Amino acid sequence: MMKRAFDIFASFFGLMGLFPILLVVTVLIKLSSPGGAFFYQTRVGRGGKLFSIYKFRTMIPEAEQRGDKITVGNDARITPVGAFLRKTKLDELPQLMNVLKGDMSIVGPRPEVPEFIAEYPEDVRELILSVRPGITDTASIEFSDEAGLLEGKSDPRQAYIDEILPMKAKHYVRYVETQSFTGDLLIILATLNKVFKQATEQG
């Protein structure tokens, strides 16, 4: 109950406090490339329930029809504004709406698309899906440059499945088995520190 109460409080006041930034980002996306400001994608939530995750659009329109669901290195589909949003993680801010709706939590295993969640062993999958997925977690911090890690791989999709997904799963399982309110706060602080460093490097 405390976790959900915190999620509601943090997402509501986060959306209110960040509204000017959300508005500016929306305008920049609309001015810099054709298409809508938001990107919607089906992900797998708690109990295997499907939901639409919200992000700011960082790619050209219909990007998934023009390539893989995985982005690698300097993917040509990423717009200039999108590259900045990805680097600073500002593209993730609309997920506060997912948290407010109850699809996600502030902290928890990152939600995967159905084709990748199916790659987990059944027992691992059930454990991971026993909690709400989150905006951030320890795997998000460690793999903040996932696209860069996959750059140069002959088959990025398979490399993601074989190399990155199992490591993420270990983070997710550890989180589910040891989660606590204090632990969530520490992950949030670590995430903010990581984002600040990346934003400073970007600047």
Q: Where are the domains of the chain?
A: 2-202
* pLDDT reported for residue 194: 86
Spell out the residues 6+ positions from residue 114 whose beta carbon is closer than 8 angstroms to its own: 42, 44, 50
Alpha-carbon distance of 59 to 83, in angstroms, equals 9
How much is the pLDDT for 73? 66
pLDDT at 189: 95
Coil/strand/helix, residue 179: coil
At 32, the amino acid letter reads S
pLDDT at 203: 53
Amino acid identity, position 52? S
Each residue of 79-107: pLDDT tens digit?
999 988 988 889 999 999 999 999 999 99
pLDDT in the model for residue 202 = 56
Among residues 92, 93, 90, 61, the alpha carbon closest in space to that of 77 is found at: 61
Q: Within the chain, which residues score under 70 in pLDDT? A: 64-67, 69, 73, 199, 201-203
